[in-house]
Chain A
Amino acid sequence: AQTVTQSQPEMSVQEAETVTLSCTYDTSESDYYLFWYKQPPSRQMILVIRQEAYKQQNATENRFSVNFQKAAKSFSLKISDSQLGDAAMYFCAYDERSNYKLTFGKGTLLTVNP
């Protein structure tokens, strides 16, 4: 079974600084998708960014970017110019193509200090 590991239960960053959240995953597949979700205190799950495994180029969405290392099975999220509104739980997730299911990591709680 696929597993997703987020080794940092909690992280903190100063406002306007950059922070990187780590994620590793275990799979024998070559075609899959990776996601980062944000869950603020409101509990809503918000898709932050997605990466297709067959694409070598790292995905970016405004201040959010990923470092996708396929051979190392690593998928880290970089948040630049951190804002107070970025404070949330962040989940890394894996979806094996044609498997129809998302597997989540346990999450990283990000605190942004003013």
Chain B
Amino acid sequence: NAGVTQTPKFRILKIGQSMTLQCAQDMNHNYMYWYRQDPGMGLKLIYYSVGAGITDKGEVPNGYNVSRSTTEDFPLRLELAAPSQTSVYFCASSYDSRYWAFFGQGTRLTVV
């Protein structure tokens, strides 16, 4: 089925560990985004990309890195995990910034 696929769905990390959250879309969308959702805080933008090879910081980029080597994939890298990065992470994609519609199912990350 067409859409945005995130893996894994759940993960527990120890402080200082690193991991990559995977995101893939098969709709040939140019725009891709990573958000984090903390309880009672809505969603905040971490990084975004407007096309392959182009990425930019969002509101809360510290502690994260991204790359966009293909149109389909937009992985999010966490280096030196900290408890403050405990959150639910969403990847999203859009054909155009006006047509927001496609989110992945989210990854629940706990850092202990």
The size of the chain B interface, using a CB distance under 8 A, is: 24
A100-B48, A101-B58 known; A47 vs B101 contact (CB < 8 Å):
yes
Contact B100 A95 (CB under 8 A): yes
Contact B40 A93 (CB under 8 A): no
A100-B31, A102-B45 known; A43 vs B100 contact (CB < 8 Å):
no
Contact A104 B42 (CB under 8 A): yes
A100-B31, A102-B33, A104-B43 known; A47 vs B100 contact (CB < 8 Å):
yes
The size of the chain A interface, using a CB distance under 8 A, is: 25
Q: Which of A9, A44, A100 neighbours the largest number of chain B CB atoms within 10 Å of its CB?
A: A100
Instruction: Report chain A residues within 8 Å CB of B99.
Output: 50
Contact residue among A35, A45, A97, A105 (Cβ-Cβ distance under 8 Å from B90): A45
Report 11 cross-chain contacts, Cβ distance below 8 Å, ordered by A residue.
A45-B90, A45-B92, A47-B101, A50-B98, A91-B42, A97-B97, A100-B50, A100-B97, A101-B58, A102-B43, A107-B42
Q: Considering the chains assembled together, what is the distance between the CA atoms of A45 and B40 in angstroms?
A: 15
